[in-house]
């Protein structure tokens, strides 16, 4: 068994991160397996160098040790580019030239705009552009992203499923996230593509993460099938929330582990505040 914890070095860890790390770590250790640390640092606009070490310090304070040197996604860009090339060759990608404003205007124009768990979905504006027009606009230097063509991907892969050890079997719904962005000009890859490639390359057998990412797994299974990558087992655990029921997140300024540590809380006390009742 191999699990991983993959934080973004854009802030200090909080209780939600602690839970995710402990679930992955404890699951692997109980089975005599490997636990890996990976930094999801592809969004260079938000990454801060000091957070790499601070995250490692927080994990060690919790009693979490990892196997092998932590991987940084920012050092693996050629791997993601090869995956993009494969997807392009299979006809599962298309360039999107829309700005955020273009998308909002198109969504406002559509009577029944497509929606998913994370809000309004991209309406597919650029999907029907001709190959010639796309090539001309790319040659002219027009800014663009690369999107997964969910319809075409489904035609290639056929029906897909995945099983979650906590939430059961799921039929992959290609429309759940729609034509997700897999690469942008300013950021060479997206979370969706990078995590799929990394999990396969690191031979991760069990993907553990919050249930808020369950919808993303539908897109990830399609990418795995398109790239001929192995399918891991999944465990989408419950989320850690504040007293009002709001999910803890860095953007909500949740108490960091550093602040809790400075207040005198011990790692053992941290565990008592988390729903660590998951079994293998």
pLDDT in tens, 14-26: 888 999 999 999 9
Q: What is the DSSP letter of 3?
A: E
Q: Are strands 206-210 and 34-39 parallel, antiparallel or unpaired?
A: unpaired
**Domains in the chain: boundaries:** 1-75+240-280
Categorize the per-residue pLDDT at 161 as very low, low, confident or very high, splitting at 50, 70 and 90: very high
The CATH topology of domain 1-75+240-280 is Rossmann fold (3.40.50)
End-to-end CA distance of the chain: 11
Over 70: is that where the pLDDT of 154 sits?
yes
Over 80: is that where the pLDDT of 279 sits?
no
Q: What is the DSSP letter of 74?
A: G
| Distance (Å) of CA 140 to CA 81, 130, 134, 187, 249 | 21, 15, 10, 20, 40
Nearest to 13, CA basis, from 261, 271, 278: 261
Bridge partners (DSSP) of residue 14 are 256
Structure tokens at 82: 């090869």
Could you tell me the pTM of the whole model? 0.91
Categorize the per-residue pLDDT at 259 as very low, low, confident or very high, splitting at 50, 70 and 90: confident
Burial class of residue 219 in the structure, from the number of CB atoms within 10 Å of its CB (0-12 exposed, 13-18 middle, 19+ buried) = buried
Report d(CA 254, CA 251) in Å as an integer.
Answer: 8
């Amino acid at each position: 068994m191999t699990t991983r914890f993959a934080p973004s070095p854009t802030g200090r860890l909080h209780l939600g991160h602690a839970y995710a790390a402990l679930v992955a770590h404890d699951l692997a250790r109980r089975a005599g397996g490997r636990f890996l640390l990976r930094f999801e640092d592809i969004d260079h606009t938000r990454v801060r160098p000091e957070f790499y070490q601070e995250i490692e310090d927080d994990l060690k304070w919790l009693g979490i040790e990892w196997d092998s040197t932590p991987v940084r996604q920012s050092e693996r860009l050629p791997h993601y580019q090869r995956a993009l090339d494969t997807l392009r060759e299979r006809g599962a990608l298309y360039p999107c030239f829309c700005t955020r404003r273009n998308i909002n205007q198109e969504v406002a124009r559509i009577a029944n705009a497509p929606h998913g768990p994370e809000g309004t979905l991209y309406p597919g504006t650029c999907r029907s552009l001709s190959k010639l027009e796309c090539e001309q606009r790319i040659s002219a230097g027009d800014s663009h992203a690369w999107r997964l063509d969910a319809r075409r991907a489904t035609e290639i892969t056929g029906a897909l499923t995945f099983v979650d050890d906590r939430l059961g079997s799921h039929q992959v719904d290609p429309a759940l996230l729609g034509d997700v962005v897999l690469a942008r000009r300013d950021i060479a890859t997206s979370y969706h593509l990078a995590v799929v490639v990394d999990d396969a390359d690191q031979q991760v057998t069990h993907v553990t993460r919050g249930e808020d990412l369950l919808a993303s797994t539908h897109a990830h299974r399609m990418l795995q099938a398109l790239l001929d990558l192995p399918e891991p087992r999944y465990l989408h655990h419950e989320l850690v929330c504040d007293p009002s029921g709001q999910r803890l997140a860095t953007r909500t300024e949740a108490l960091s582990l550093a602040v809790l540590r400075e207040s005198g809380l011990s790692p053992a006390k941290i565990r008592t505040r988390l729903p660590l009742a998951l079994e293998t």
